[in-house]
Structure 1
């Protein structure tokens, strides 16, 4: 039987001798061959490292040992070499090893982007521990949940008085045996509830810990927990295990990334986009990463030029912000040869690539807890990747994607008479799934029920299991795949995933609100979806200016900035499904257009600290000035 690689080689050879004929018979063959060739580059290296159990921390230590003077991190105009970062990571490991933790246990990290975040995380990996990455925007119940859901009993807080204040505001809600360590504050100034991590680091030595400390690490041992919003209403710790971490160190092989490259990361390290894409790939090749504490559109290209960045890692919202900065003669003057990221939408793709002279854009699709990644390596505007018959045949259905017909009313895949899912045809939209590999037992650290919600069974054959991304995609006639929408109880805004259940739970604490239904709505010129809440008032209440001010104060106090509803709609009653779930489809379609929605509409106003009436006469001015 002829193998797939042999067939591919034969096809490629045929293309070389009869390109015009092949183009006529299969117009997108070259795009298929380019995709197959490019996406296979990381596979061999990943397979080798998995087979030899070469972990992410091993890759880092190898570079630190062989090239200690090579720059690993550039931060605030200072260079941090692999040797320096390794020494600091050793100090962390020597501190934490006294805490009585075992391989696989987790330690929470809550700090801004900085070398400190990285050496703390690497120090944990030296002991076979996992880092729990805490979103520093969280407050109150979501923060307490994030600190404890991974079973962490220790938290290391980075520099910044506001971070300490945030933790102190919830400290009495944490378990009694939960310990908080703080960096950057004088020991004498710390309240009794917290301990100085700086003091422990000063007393520690930069000597390596013996690898025996992590000899019990397996490929399934967690390397970190990264939180993602979901249908439970609270952040869920997605499991990044060692085998997944290894795979993510070689993603940049698709762009021929080497140790001579310099990548630029400005998104938060508590997200997978920054750590799993930017940092892990840098470690995999022993390259250099330029890190910034917070994204700055006005300084972005200045940094890129100054540090001779060759690869930029983006999210779609970042690109849109960059385009809003006034044009500059040096916009296209830089060393960038590739942009790698996700969420770059079709409406700004050409403008971004042309204005800033980006030679190649590699748009990928994936999820923190996902089991596969789709990559557009063909520079196809707006596409996530390809899903052609040839690519599916080459994959053999072992680890790739599947796009199935989906019913938006039942929020379930449509099945055939045998109970199996039905693949979409070109020109249709469907639900994106990926094969669940045997080395992944669960996606989140949590209950069996939470994990099973992400599984779709009986997709290709009875008994199989696929991971459900919860996203609808469109397949065009040339087999390119495009993102269409998120389904269920999450949407994306300002680069963050927003849980509608969490927002509704917070708003429902207000006594004058009888019921709340939260969803995301499209705003022209913005990526993702803006938060909108349809609310039903308690009997005897009307939405007064006083209640609007109370509503504003409540959401600002209890929700991070990206989760606060932009729009409010007052409804008399809600439409529900047979299972008593709120129907969102009609509300989403109607959006916030005063000419369509007959209910009272309001929009957030941060200057006056309230919600203002939204009407046909002021909607244009408001949308251009507040979003």
Structure 2
């Protein structure tokens, strides 16, 4: 037994860490499946509203030095919901496309539409022309919400949206992914599974139109009831200063991001 223990520590030093992590994730997944079968599954929005009631003054988003509490985001998203309710024909189940970059209003609109029961389709804010038109047509939205800076891009394709009968399939065009509420909840449990807590301050520089930024990042913060520092765009030169300035304890990464950070002086 001593020999086996020695070999395990030598060859697989993180075996038990990985084992307990896997067990934690499996238990969480099974619990959510049970909630789904019983019709008791809560959504990311439900979790957010719970935190807005329990800790209304706790900072939820820090963006360019401005602080938005859970209560602030709740009130702002409710105003967005009222605008769509009173000044549009949107109804529960309708799809609304969202073409915005990383900013608090992305979350305000997302949650406001969710409060109406609408399906929100996140569009890549970096694509244009045929690719953007393809994404809009793929999700078949009843409405499109966009930033002022995206207005010109949409003007150029507005006639195509109205006149073009269809798009020829092309392997290079973006592919849509349908995310159900159960998948969103499982994604939001990621930070919790890695051991993060409500006391952590999480740095999110990944795009919110991507599931890594929205579901794992924002959703993960909501699952914990934590605070996030939202960055409009990743900047290797500003990263470490931001972490020091805002006392960041956790950050998300993807692809080559860490390599860029290691090259910083």
Q: TM-score range by the shorter chain?
A: 0.7 to 0.9
The corresponding residue for 1:169 is 156
Residue 319 of structure 1, aligned match among 247, 251, 258: 258
Q: Name the CA distance, whole Å, in 1 between partners of 2:175 and 2:126.
A: 15
- Per-residue displacement from partner, 1:373-395 (whole Å, max 9, x unpaired)? xxxxxxxxxxxxxxxxxxxxxxx
Distance 1:25 1:274 in 2: 36
- Per-residue CA shift, 1:571-591, capped at 9, x if unaligned? xxxxxxxxxxxxxxxxxxxxx
Distance 1:165 1:88 in 2: 26
Q: Could you tell me whether the CA contact under 8 Å between 1:42 and 1:253 is conserved in 2? A: no
Structure 1 segment 228-627 matched on structure 2, within 5 A: 232-325=171-264, 327=265
In the aligned structure 2, how far is the partner of 1:267 from the partner of 1:31? 28
Structure 1 unmatched runs, 5+: 1-17, 177-229, 328-627
Structure 2 SS opposite 1:289: strand
Counterparts of 1:24 and 1:259, CA distance in 2: 37
Higher helix share: 2
Give the Cα–Cα distance (whole angstroms) in 2 for the partners of residues 251 and 323 of structure 1.
25
CA distance in 2, matches of 1:290, 1:25: 39
Q: Secondary structure at the match of 1:156?
A: strand
Deviation at 1:88, TM superposition (A): 0.9
- Within 2, Cα distance between the matches of 1:171 and 1:275? 27
What SS is found at the alignment partner of 1:107? strand
Q: 1:15-62: CA deviations, max 9, x gaps? A: xxx443334489645533321201222443444345031111100000
Corresponding residue of 2:166: none
Q: Give the distance between the partners of 1:64 and 1:43, measured in 2 at CA.
A: 29
Partner SS state of residue 172, structure 1:
helix
SS for the counterpart of 1:316 is coil
> For residues 282 and 321 of structure 1, what CA distance do their matches in structure 2 show?
25
For the residue of structure 2 that corresponds to 1:274, the secondary structure is helix
- Verify: 1:40 aligned to 2:23, yes or no: yes
**Count of aligned positions:** 254
Q: More strand per residue: 1 or 2?
A: 1
Distance verdict in 2 for CA 1:40–1:124, change over 3 Å: farther
**Shift in CA distance, 268/126, structure 1 to aligned 2, threshold 3 Å:** same
C-alpha displacement at 1:301, in angstroms?
0.4
The separation in 2 between residues aligned to 1:255 and 1:136, in whole angstroms, is 30
Residue 311 of structure 1: how far off its partner (Å):
0.4
Structure with the greater alpha carbon radius of gyration: 1
Q: 1:87 and 1:319, CA in 2 relative to 1: closer, same or farther beyond 3 A?
A: same
Query: In structure 1, what is the equivalent of residue 82 of structure 2?
Result: 94
In the aligned structure 2, how far is the partner of 1:146 from the partner of 1:170? Answer: 12
* Paired position in structure 1 for 2:97: 108
**C-alpha contact (below 8 Å) 1:72/1:287 kept by paired residues:** yes
Residue 72 of structure 2 aligns to a residue in which SS?
helix
**2:32–2:182 Cα contact (<8 Å) kept:** no
Matches within 5 A, 1:79-228: 79-98=67-86, 99-160=88-149, 163-175=150-162
The CA deviation at 1:313 is: 0.3
| 8 A contact 1:107–1:155 mirrored in 2 | yes
Q: Does 1:54 align with 2:42?
A: yes
Distance 1:159 1:76 in 2: 19
Does structure 2 retain, via aligned residues, the 8 Å contact 1:117–1:158? no
SS of 1:237's equivalent in the other structure is coil
| 1:75 equivalenced with 2:58 (yes/no) | no
Which stretch of the first structure deviates more once superposed, 254-263 or 34-43?
34-43
Which residue is equivalent to 1:538? none
CA distance in 2, matches of 1:49, 1:69: 29
The alpha-carbon distance between structure 1 residues 268 and 21, as it changes in their structure 2 partners (threshold 3 A), is closer
Aligned mates of 1:25, 1:95 — CA distance in 2: 60
- Provide the alpha-carbon RMSD of the alignment: 2.2
